[in-house]
Amino acid sequence: MASSDPTERPAAEPDSGAAAPSAPIHSNGDSGAAAPADPNPGAASPANPVTAAPDPSDLPEEEARARAEELAREIRRHDHLYHVEGRPEISDGEYDRLFRELRALEEAHPELVTPDSPTQRVGVDPVASLPTVEHVAPMLSLDSTQDAAEVRRFDERIRKALDGGESEYVLEPKLDGISIELVYKEGRLARAVTRGNGREGEGVTENVRTIRSVPLLLRTESRPAPELLAVRGEILMSISAFEAFNQSLMEEGSEPYANPRNATSGAVRQLDSAITARRPLQCLAYDILHVEGTAFRTDMEGIQALEEWGFALPERVELVANVEAVEAYHAGFDGDRDELDYEIDGIVIKLNDLDDRSDLGSTSHHPRWALAWKFEPRKEVTRVEGIAVQVGRTGVLTPVALLRPVEVGGVTVSRATLHNREELARKDVREGDRVRVQRAGDVIPQVVEVVTEGADAERGPPFQMPELCPNCDTPVVEDGPFSRCPNRFGCSAQLKGRIVHFGSRRALDIEGLGEETAALLVDREMVKGPADLFDLEADQVEALPGFAEVSARKLVEAIAARRRTELARFLHGLGIPEVGATVARDLAHHFRSLDAFLAADREVLEAIPGIGPRMSEVITEFVSEERTRAAIDELALRMEALTVPEEPGAGGPLEGQTWVFTGGMEEMTRTEAKRRVEALGAKATSSVSGKTDVLVAGEGAGSKLEKARELEVEVLDEAEFLERLRELEG
């Protein structure tokens, strides 16, 4: 692939100082080649149908509007040709002439300026902060592996879940950039939101508008724009653009970035979008999160639509029919990895059929129908200068190697995890050892092994994990391969992490209660347990570094506002092992009160779907430990109400029923059918069992239909299902 020059076609006017993004990485042409020199920049180009420009101030409003629309349309076309397809038709000089004319028209007639005008890509006035915005649909992370055998097991699970049928997979490179949600209403870019916690992120719309591979207005030549479209993409810098950008920083005396991802993250989250406009960013779209006004049956149909709407796509997206083709695709990208002009850390495997995806569903963290197959990490050798022990939020003591700094895959590493007591003993890492270090998933540094060849220093004694917690001196207990401090709320190291978790977005969502604030509150002994948060007063907080009267008052008010909260958020905020947001919600809806939950024994817990012996054991151990229970009781005294909202469909005519859908449907997708019965109170699952009340069998129904008949489950065909819906929905 040709490397591209980030200083080619400017992102705005030539005198704007804005560096343009490199050419799109999906192009197979020589997209890095410079546009031909323009012998006469002021002359009309044969490739450009726009006519010569009159004085904008002399044009009546209607003529000015028509001219502006004509110019904007033509500039968008050339932006797409250059930044998405990598095949420019006109010179930079001619492009600049078109841009200057549009800018002059808009200055003479301000009423012509629209949010999707090409002139609006150069940035607007800085903002004070980035808003928090909820996603249209969840942006889940992917389960991942480096093991080829696990990929085959993933394929087996998929085929088994699909009744042994064939499974097609969409394959694409796993890009190492910043995930973004792009939301379009009636074809116009309405907002852009970072991934954040998957449920909500930071609104960065004005920054993303400056990225020229992001359509401000969807192309509709081949396909009409939908009413609402939410697209997931990745914002990144090509390696060549990053190197040129870093060189420019060093030339002006600024600190360079460690890697393209860090530089991208900093650019996307700028408060001043004019700065973002000067960064060589590009955006590649790869998934439709939500769409209204049209529908797709496969992922490849959605990808084709994205291309027709004008998005740049990752290169080498392929549709394959078996796991052998997946292995060949992975090997091909791995072999080309060092030659690519962009960072990837693996490939993504996604089921193509969208109804099948709906049947498989997702956990609270990742979809069951997709898998990231990571490459083997890059590795380097350095020296262990010491070993420290850190205490995490859950009390686990983790040995950490303090390393002589070494660059691994473009990042300087000085600390690396040794995982746990048993792993440390197995690797026998000691102070003074030469070790091989890698970045797991090209992100988290870890020690792979001790390097004995060429050892030139005497080894230190074997490292022993401490018997007492290094933070609170509580005797450490062994929990499998881990050493753990059981003093959950009394150990200051754990307490800091627990307070941050308690106030996190999916727990009580307390604005302003971050890591620095939690550390200050604990270190100053203002908070000795989560309950103490609700006793804080504004003048106490104001005395902390970084706080003033207004910020202190806002934090205290934000905490006080959470005295009334949902029981599910409260349970999640306690940080019970094995209990994430989804399990906390199930517990809350089952028990309906904190007292009922605290009184439950293992047998009662295991009666709840999804909670097995291991989870029930962990939960009961947590709530029955004396110090932990005292902290929960103190916290409960501070709460005014722990509510349990009704689930969608509660009280509906199908409440308590379980429905399963199989086979193809003509009138609606299975996803829509599930949504309709859930709105009526039913639970839609993907497998038939003795608890199934109704099976809806569409065209091509297989083993699920046979099993339903064996179990004497009521079976409806599509026509009968639609008639039942009409009766129930009234």
Catalytic sites, residue numbers: 174
Output the DSSP codes for 131-199.
PEEE-SS------EES-HHHHHHHHHHHHHHTTT----EEEEEEE-SEEEEEEEETTEEEEEEE-TTSS
Distances, alpha carbon 330 to alpha carbons 141, 156, 333, 693, 717, in Å: 20, 18, 5, 43, 41
236 three-state secondary structure:
strand
With residues binned 3-state (H G I as helix, E B as strand, rest as coil), the percentages for the chain, rounded to 5, are 35, 20, 40
Q: How far apart are CA 124 and CA 383, in angstroms?
A: 48
Token pair listed for 47: 């490739």
Query: What does the alpha-carbon distance between residue 525 and residue 544 come to, in Å, rounded to a whole number?
Result: 12
Residue 327's H or E segment, with its range, is: helix 323-336
Distance between CA atoms of residues 637 and 329, nearest Å: 57
Q: Which of 705, 714, 671 is nearest to 687 (CA)?
A: 705
Sheet holding 282-292, edge to edge: 188-194, 178-185, 228-236, 282-292
| Residue 56 and residue 41 in contact, taking contact as beta carbons nearer than 8 Å | no
Q: In angstroms, rounded to a whole number, what is the distance separating the alpha carbons of residues 330 and 67?
A: 50
Q: Rounded CA gap, 19 and 546, in Å?
A: 36
Are the CB atoms for 441 and 345 separated by under 8 Å? yes
HSE, CB side, 13 Å, CA atoms: give it for residue 252: 7
Structure tokens at 215: 């359509």
CB 214, CB 283: distance < 8 Å: yes
CA distances from 627 to 447, 529, 624, 633 (A): 36, 11, 9, 10
Considering only CA atoms, which of 639, 387, 425 is closest in space to residue 530? Answer: 639
